[in-house]
Structure 1
Amino acid sequence: MHRINVAEAAPQGYQAVLGLEKYARTNVERTVYHLVKLRASVLNGCAFCVDMHTRDALAEGESSRRLFAVAAWREAPFFDERERAALALTDAVTRLGEHGVPDEVWDAAAKVWSERELADLLIAIATINVWNRIAVTSRTQPPLDV
């Protein structure tokens, strides 16, 4: 059962997060953007976001094979060095825990992404984690009629 509609209850807060989303969508490579959004959503168990980002990626031409492999990206041969670095950073940022982002994860990302690209990627990862937490906490469900 859906708990709350954050967009209605706190429209200014919702618009602020939406602003981050629009920035990330505009400034991160589309393929990587979709992979990052999907990976964080899988890790956070956000059915709404997994559904939405999978559908969006498919609509923009991403292969279903690569999307399925996001769940096991470390073992899958379908991702290039930049995508792997972005996925590793997504894992580390999403699972901050007590240890933060390990230097080896950051250094691998910094090797293949410019400072600006890293900043934009970090904003995208942080933003999907905000959306995941809103959707999971509010029990937002994916639409059944799509």
Structure 2
Amino acid sequence: MSARRISYQEFTKTAPAAQAALLAMGKAVEQTDLDKQLVELVKLRVSQINNCAFCLQIHLTAARRIGVPQEKLDLVATWEEAGIFTARECAALAWAERLARLAGHSVSDAAYAAAREHFGEDELMWLSVAIANINAWNRLGAAFRFIPPIAKQAAA
């Protein structure tokens, strides 16, 4: 069995200002005109890449609540091959993967230009903020192995 790590509840109690800042960043994205379903798909894909079960479960729940089609939830991990995502969704998912996998790479002009074909400058900025925000949450959730809420309910 793995060593005990910091729980989400301990994180929120010990670092309330950090939690509030991350939540505020997410709220700022929510207040934009970006399509909420698109943002949830991006958060799901980045959470898959970063192996964050906590964020994945939270954003699956959020995506279902706002009506993201089940087929898209089922296939977001293989979005390039699925053939069910719009060109705009594909551009957002490609951008999300590029920003989630920055280690040792820069973001090329070609990747930026491809994203800009589907997003205005402000939209791409806010999409990038959403990606940065979920990346930050993922790093905390994965580092401390925050237990997904549904797993807690199942264990009870």
Q: Same fold (TM over 0.5)?
A: yes
Counterpart amino acid of 1:3? I
Q: Are 1:3 and 2:12 an aligned pair?
A: no
Q: Residue 98 of structure 2: which of 77, 89, 92 is its match?
A: 92
Counterpart amino acid of 2:85? F
Give the stretch that moved more between structures: 100-109 or 123-132: 100-109
**Residues 70-85 of structure 1: matches in 2 within 5 Å?**
70-85=76-91
Counterpart amino acid of 2:105? H
CA contact (8 A) 1:89 1:101 kept: no
Q: Residue 70 of structure 2: which of 64, 79, 82 is its match?
A: 64
What runs of 5+ residues in structure 1 fail to find an aligned partner?
Answer: none
CA contact (8 A) 1:85 1:105 kept: no
**Residues 32-47 of structure 1: matches in 2 within 5 Å?**
32-47=38-53
CA contact (8 A) 1:35 1:67 kept: yes
Among the aligned pairs, what percent are the same residue?
37
Query: RMSD value over aligned CA atoms?
Result: 1.3
1:102: how far off? 2.5
Matched positions, count: 146
CA contact (8 A) 1:48 1:135 kept: yes
CA contact (8 A) 2:37 2:67 kept: no
Counterpart amino acid of 1:42? Q
Q: Deviations over 1:31-82 (max 9, x none)?
A: 1111110000000000011111111111111111101111001111111111
1:103: how far off? 2.2
What runs of 5+ residues in structure 2 fail to find an aligned partner?
Answer: none
Q: How high is the TM-score relative to the length of structure 1?
A: 0.94
Q: How high is the TM-score relative to the length of structure 2?
A: 0.88
**Residues 1-146 of structure 1: matches in 2 within 5 Å?**
1-4=4-7, 5-27=10-32, 28-143=34-149, 144=151, 145=153
Q: Bigger radius of gyration, 1 or 2?
A: 2
Give the stretch that moved more between structures: 86-95 or 8-17: 8-17
How many Å separate the matches in 2 of 1:31 and 1:106? 22
